[in-house]
Amino acid sequence: MPYLGSEDAVKELKRALSNPHIQADRLRYRNVIHKVIRHMTQGVDVSSVFMEMVKASATVDIVQKKLVYLYMCTYAPQKPDLALLTINTLCKDCSDPNPMVRGLALRSMCNLRMPGIQEYIQQPVQNGLRDKASYVRRVAVLGCAKMHRQQGEGEVDGVIVNELYSLLRDPDPIVLVNCLRALEEILKGEGGVVINKPIAHHLLNRLADLDQWGQTEVLTFLLRYKPQSEEEIFDILNILDSYLKSTHISVVMAATKLFLVLAKEFPHVQTDVLVRLKSPLLAGCTSESREMCFAALCHVREILRSLQGHFSSYYKKFFCSYNDPHYIKNQKIDILCELVNDENVYNVLEELRVCCTDVSTQPAHTAIFAIGRIARTYSEKCVKILAGLLEFKQEHITSAVIQTFRDLVWLCPQCTTSVCQCLPGCEEKIQDNEGKQAFIWLLGMHGELIPNAPYVLEDYVDNVKTETSPIVKMELLTALVRLFLSRPAECQDMLGRLIHYCIEEEMNMAVRDRGLLYYRLLSTGIKDVQKVLNGPKSDPSLGVLVDQTEQPINGWVMDFNTLAPLYENKLCKSITANSVKCELTFVTKQLVAELNSPVDSEVSQEPPAPISLISDIAITPELFEKKWINSATEHCLDIEWKKAVDPDLLQSSLHVLNIYTIAKSKAGTQPWKSYLYAQDSEENMFLVELMLCVDSSSLKTTVKQGRDSKDRLNNFVSLLKSTISTVLELSR
């Protein structure tokens, strides 16, 4: 036997297919065809036996027909002229008495990807839609979608669409589901299949006849139906109630989403449904399938956005297993942070402490940062655990702990003393830039509480020429100037050496400019330096970013049971088709019209240069907080405010302009705060803090930006001011 893939092997197969003695023996003939298919699936070009395979289709052996039709569908695009010879055979088989043969032939005809095939398959498909055998009707319905796709951008055949709508009442449940899928494909350009009241009620009544995957499909399509009355809503909910107890997780999730959408006016009903969803989700979180586990964990996080502590009594279900991949461990750790309370804090912290020593760096960092988040409520317990982690003297652990300490002393000033006691000796184990930056910041900001702070900074100054990160150099320069204000005798000499190096030898312009700034500032006198650098050492109000208010269920219900929870915020918009389109309020529409209207040059000032803010931008609260802390304040302004205006109106108006809110204070909180972010087309990010004090007639606004661009900043501030002014004007 010639070796596999040689021309001799293909020639031998061709001779065998043409041998009348082999053709007379059904078993031997089928075995040769098997060899052809085997060669084809292994990548061997066997297109030269096309005519012999076409002749082999004339048989009553269904197995042989399946093999031959598989071969034809594979090589039809390469041999379109010869493939036309198979049409007569296929059309003949479409009228065969055996329904299996009819269905097989019809499916194969629809799979022939070759030009001009539509005119041959249209009539067999229409005949198949009226066939007595349910198997043929299933194939014909899907054939309609294949035929439409082969036509490209051609017009939709109204006859086929009407036929498919009528087949929704077919007694075979699989035909019903296939009709929905085919209509969705054919009517994609018109918004998909239309679900009206008769169709919706018919689908609900047929749910019990469908298999589990069919039930999932139908429940998803029913999301498009809007009931006309409250009585109809509860009738549908009563039908769906039994599907919340299904043993198949996909059916439970689809039924839950439909429940939540229909009951959007009844929050207590939505809450009851989510309570019943606990068991299926917890089962998914402990599934052996990692994909299932990850999806369930993401949906648990989605629910916790509205029902904080909803899974608190089952917190042990979210403990990490040793063989969990890092992406599942990260999700479980984040969920544990949401479930911490006075009763389980010790157990959760102990679990996180174990995760901090994970062999994988990423879960270890996630666990350390999670302890830092919990420390904002249980500071004493968490600081002890973090201090104990420093005893491991592992580079990645020490770096993450120092970064956590940096954020903790900024948000919780009561932790400063205990944190500073843990810092001596850490400099030897910190090698990464983020850890160095956080450690140097702590030494400069709280160096008066750390006895050896000047000497540690002196080591960094002595090795500054070997430092490769400009950010670390700038942080070192700022920290040393700050420490000079509290301990001048110990810092004067090395500060002079560092500034001289930055001005005379440093090649990075940002570091050099920072050195020149501090040199000129120091030359004006120590009082001016103190005014600039002796700012607040903490800002507990940033805790608003962590203590976010519960979001309404209707805010994320359309993303439920889609890919959206598996991705961060708006990244899913490019992947999922089920995105929520926000409707503008009357005031918001007026605002857009006002901002886009032409400006009268005789009575108005020159309008600001346009700035384009992108809509597809997402940022996590933790990343926002980090950027806010590390960015300098670029612009502060007080804008006149009217007490009668609801600040939430401003939030929705800014959202239209792609300025998004990431956190805000609860209604009635004093002072009221809101944090926002936006990004322009050049990837320059703007961070905004709005603060409204009680009995205040001005809205204090602080703006920071990611890049140093004055023109962009001025354009953004102008847009912000004009938006606020327009909202106040339209609210009269």
Q: How many CB atoms lie within 10 A of CB 365?
A: 21
Separation of alpha carbons 675 and 696, rounded Å: 19
Q: Is 233 inside a domain boundary?
A: no
CA 300 to chain CA centroid, Å, is 14
Residues 9-32 have pLDDT tens digits of 888 888 888 888 888 888 898 899
Q: What is the pLDDT of residue 396?
A: 93
Residues 547-593 have pLDDT tens digits of 455 678 888 888 899 988 888 644 334 333 333 333 333 334 444 44
Domain with 663, as residue range(s), is 582-730
**Per mean pLDDT, which range of 90-104, 142-156, 208-222 is the poorest?**
142-156
First to last CA, the chain: 92
Residues 418 and 462 in one domain: no
Q: Is 247 inside a domain boundary?
A: no
Q: What is the pLDDT of residue 622?
A: 73
Separation of alpha carbons 39 and 260, rounded Å: 52
Q: Is 64 inside a domain boundary?
A: yes
Residues 98 and 200 in one domain: yes
State the average pLDDT over residues 112-123: 80
Q: What is the pLDDT of residue 75?
A: 85
Q: How far is CA 35 from CA 4, 74, 534, in A?
A: 11, 15, 83
Residues 303 and 161 in one domain: no
By CB atoms closer than 10 A (0-12, 13-18, 19+), residue 591 is buried
Residues 42 and 61 in one domain: yes
Q: What is the pLDDT of residue 456?
A: 94
Separation of alpha carbons 352 and 378, rounded Å: 14
Q: What is the pLDDT of residue 464?
A: 93
Amino acid at 652: S
Q: What is the pLDDT of residue 578?
A: 36
CATH number at residue 210: 1.25.10.10
Share of the chain above pLDDT 90, in %: 48
**Per mean pLDDT, which range of 114-123, 356-365, 640-649 is the poorest?**
640-649
Q: What is the pLDDT of residue 542?
A: 65
Contact yes or no for 426/392 (Cβ under 8 A): no
Residue at a domain's end among 372, 396, 422:
422
Q: Is 163 inside a domain boundary?
A: yes
Band the pLDDT of 475: cuts 50, 70, 90.
Answer: very high
Residues 290 and 175 in one domain: no
Q: Is 434 inside a domain boundary?
A: yes
Contact yes or no for 386/352 (Cβ under 8 A): no
Residue at a domain's end among 481, 503, 523:
523
Residue at a domain's end among 473, 497, 523:
523
Angle at alpha carbon of residue 573, lines to 570 and 577, rounded to 5° = 150
Q: How many CB atoms lie within 10 A of CB 570?
A: 15
Look at the chain and count its residues: 732
Q: What is the pLDDT of residue 712?
A: 82
Residues 386 and 474 in one domain: no
Separation of alpha carbons 512 and 493, rounded Å: 19
The DSSP line for 50-77 is: HHHHHHHTSSS-HHHHHHHHHHHHHHTT
Q: What is the pLDDT of residue 595?
A: 41
Contact yes or no for 140/182 (Cβ under 8 A): no
**Per mean pLDDT, which range of 164-168, 334-338, 626-630 is the poorest?**
626-630
Residues 477 and 608 in one domain: no
Residues 98 and 203 in one domain: yes
Nearest to residue 406, comparing CAs of 532, 539, 244?
A: 539
CATH number at residue 625: 3.30.310.10
Query: Does residue 65 carry a pLDDT above 90?
Result: no
Q: What is the pLDDT of residue 90?
A: 85
Nearest to residue 429, comparing CAs of 410, 401, 457?
A: 401
Q: What is the pLDDT of residue 55?
A: 84
Residues 348 and 450 in one domain: no
Q: How far is CA 131 from CA 63, 93, 164, 200, 561, in A?
A: 22, 14, 13, 26, 36
pTM of the predicted model as reported, rounded to 2 decimal places: 0.72
Q: Is 687 inside a domain boundary?
A: yes
* DSSP-based three-state secondary structure for 567: coil
Q: What is the pLDDT of residue 84?
A: 75
Q: Is 248 inside a domain boundary?
A: no
> Taking the C-alpha atoms of 625, 630, 635 and 639 in order, what is their torsion angle to the nearest 10 degrees?
20
Query: Does residue 495 carry a pLDDT above 70?
Result: yes
Between 549 and 284, the higher pLDDT residue:
284
Query: At a CB cut-off of 8 Å and minimum separation 6, what does 339 contact?
Result: 304, 309, 311, 312, 315, 318, 348
By CB atoms closer than 10 A (0-12, 13-18, 19+), residue 547 is exposed
Residues 283 and 384 in one domain: yes
Q: Find where tokens 């889609």 sit.
A: 562
Kindly give the pairing relationship between strand 660-664 and strand 698-705.
unpaired
Residues 450 and 402 in one domain: no
Average pLDDT for the chain: 84
Q: What is the pLDDT of residue 430?
A: 92
Residues 288 and 340 in one domain: yes
Q: State the alpha helices, DSSP H only, in 195-248.
A: 197-206, 212-221, 230-240
Total number of domains in the chain: 4
**Per mean pLDDT, which range of 51-60, 398-407, 460-469, 481-490 is the poorest?**
51-60
Q: What is the pLDDT of residue 289?
A: 92
Q: Find where tokens 């012999």 sit.
A: 52
Q: Is 353 inside a domain boundary?
A: yes
Query: Does residue 1 carry a pLDDT above 60?
Result: no
Residues 156-173 have pLDDT tens digits of 788 889 999 999 999 999
